[in-house]
Structure 1
Amino acid sequence: MKINKIYADVLAEDMDNEYKSVLNPDNPVKWAKTLIGYANGKGGILFVGVSNEGEAFGISLDEIDKTKLLIAKVNDRYIFPHIKIGYMMRSVDEDAERFVLAVHVTPSDSIIRWREGDFNETVYIKGDGYSTPATPEEIISLSKKKYGVDNETSDIYYSEQVWTEYIELCKEYRKDKSAPSLKELQNEEAVSKEGLAKSGLIMFKDGYSGDDSLICCRLWKGKNKTGTVLDSGRFKGSLANVFRYTMNFIERNTKTGWQKTINGGREEIRSYPKEAVREALVNAIAHRDYSIAGTQIDVDIYNDRIEIVSPGSWLLPMSYEEYPVGSIPSIRRNSIIAACLDVANLMERGGTGFQTMMRSYADCEESLQPVVTIYPGFLNLRLFDKLYNKDFITPDFEQLSDKEKIIALLSQDGPKPVKELQKFVNHKNRSSFLREVINPLIEAELIYRDGNPKSPTSLIKIKK
């Protein structure tokens, strides 16, 4: 069967279409350069299961799965930035046992390279039925494209007035509570010498509207996804706000209690250590593959665990289990996004995020230790509930002062508006409640107000 019998508009190999019988895993550059050429041009389709003469003999479903996995691995390990790919398959026989796989490549806004080692990169461009290395002049022409996934220079000048959400994030987590200077962002290469923001910093900009910042959160009743969804959230916008919203979702949907100490007192104990949750979420945002269209980070809270799933294959040469505890090397998929998080004191260059998570679970048995599960095309980071099936003391609010009640409630349930806090402690006068309870706690830097003091939607939050 000829290819035009199932794809009527495909007559021959040309600038937009190319045929491959199979994809050789032992010499991937022979076919990957076609994908790179399409991405560096106006896009195109690579048909697998078709001879050079256009005969569509097809491949089996098992071969299709293997081909997709091979493409994902090669895209992740050798192609930078990663190209955006979609798939379509059509049967070539009446029994629907063999199919032609159409690999659709989306045009990229950045220059795509084939990378082998640290200093060996090749840019390929597509010709009529072939792909060839680009000349220096052709690379200069390609470099005029606007900006790409993470590390390309945009045409937008950095300004504190339109990066307020990112600046507030920095003030919240930096030890000195300061805003980052332009020079600091330039040193981190998030802003060019001319003051233009890199594409990774664009994702932290106020009002960012890209779909690639989406994080979907769900609270499940039970230990798997067959249960009822008790709470959910879809958070988009700047990565600064998406991070905040997701942390708040996790905070309000996980437990805080108290356990007795050997001295007869009590200490706070949480289902999930704050530092572990923060590091897990930061890791997902920093290392997810933003080039895979139609995907998002998923945060699922079950009765006994949290799972944070992010698109993007494991970059290291060995599997997670093969590295000694606390010694996972740092490889950054998105260098500018990671640098922005580093400036905000949310990520360390030494790659100590996994070590921080492990330390926060040091007092737990092995079955509760954080786990990274690697699947083709995405990672699942699992944190276990330290309070699941454990005895702990819930706050005895009646024995607390009004100030202690506020701290205990915010620690347990997350941010609340002033009106709800006033009702909780049964304080009849708002002015005296603010003067005697809320303002002293703010001055003591135990809590802070997020939003306009006159707005009913502003929230009182625990100071980190």
Structure 2
Amino acid sequence: MEVRYIKENEALALINKDESHFWDFKSARSDGKVVQKIAVALANAEGGEFIVGVEDVKEATGLARWKGFVAQEDANWVHTSLVKDVSPPIPYDIEFLKVEGREDLRIACLVSIQKSPDVHKTSSQAVFQRRGAQSLELKGTAIADLTLSKGAKSYEDQVLDDYDLDEVSEEDELAFFLESYTPSSTPEKFLSRQRLIDRKTKKGTVASAILFAAEPAAVVPKRCSVKIARYETAERIPQRKYLKGTPATVDGCARELIDRTLGEVRAILQEHMVMQPDGSLSPMRYPPEALKEIIVNAVIHRDYNISDDILISIYDNRVEVRSPGRLPGHITRDNILEDRFARNPTIVRLLNKYPDAPNKDIGEGLDTVFNAMKAARLKAPQLRVDDNSFVVILEHAPLARPEEIVLEYLGNHPEITNRVARALTGIESENAMKKVFYKLRDGGQIELVPGRTVYSAAWRLVGE
């Protein structure tokens, strides 16, 4: 292999990258066991890269960390570790890098590990998987779960007959992406190394279209846009008469699809006024990070083999995001916050390489949603698995007890009706709301407003 010369600023960009779910540094003084561990961990996750020949930040700073190999032959043990010492052998690419004009700096070895359908083990038969910036050893049932997940083939690797190298290479989004990609690369070399084109036919994959096509829906044979519908009701199964206008269709490459969808949803929420516990009206607000994460997750984890769009339904009291495809691999509603498995690892990994990646906190998606909703004093998200989709529901319902909400409202208003109380608390049933009123009545805190019929009944604080 030839040595590729890179500029000092590119070398510094590599050195200054934070260790992450997809990136790590290894010293040229490392041994085969170290390389085996990181390579196995990445291959058993979504793939990634590591560079051999850069010292830890504790050892030096800046370009002084670039301490590689005198000659390429000195890195032969890296090849051996990946091919002979790991079972089965790992799919990988190696590139040798040297800093232009700096003969005092040696050759570094950049290793790209591809996602793999196999479970890989080190020479000692240990199984590792990348989690965040760590390579963690798996044992027992965790290995069985990984094996089950590895059996799921992703549609993102499907080759598209009508989307060839020339077309992918000319996409504006790919040019935008490569502007900040380090080390710099030509479109063809990048697409080939990342397995985004078939090396024989030079045809692009579904992943390349989802990531870089201006209109993926015109390239991918399956539906892959986002539809946003506004229903002016709180019914669980709304009638069509409550649909406001025609659902909006949002399209674009993955990065722009996420941004555009988030903008459309925020605009609709801004127009919808909801009553607060103090009786005031204000736009329906959700934690921004919660909305963003469920939209990001829907785009990157959906099943692109299912010809359906992501559907976002905005109701008077909730937002529902329906993503095509059931939960992948061994993931269930019970373990979804602890375990992880990416149905589309290439899309996940490359989207994470943008400077301001929408999925930069890899693996924290739904945890972020739950924590953000709790911090905003809103009820926890609901997760539902339907016949062929995964649904996340964000209810605009306060976390406070309904009794507290009723009393807070009555602290600012002379009376409260069942309908108003249900709107404030998120309780759907009239009878369930009545039980809250009766509990407060039995506690001597509220009473029925006298002189009202059963149809106009209202409650007030005792003594008012």
- Whether TM exceeds 0.5 here: the answer is no
TM range (shorter): 0.3 to 0.5
- Tell me the TM-score normalized by structure 1: 0.42
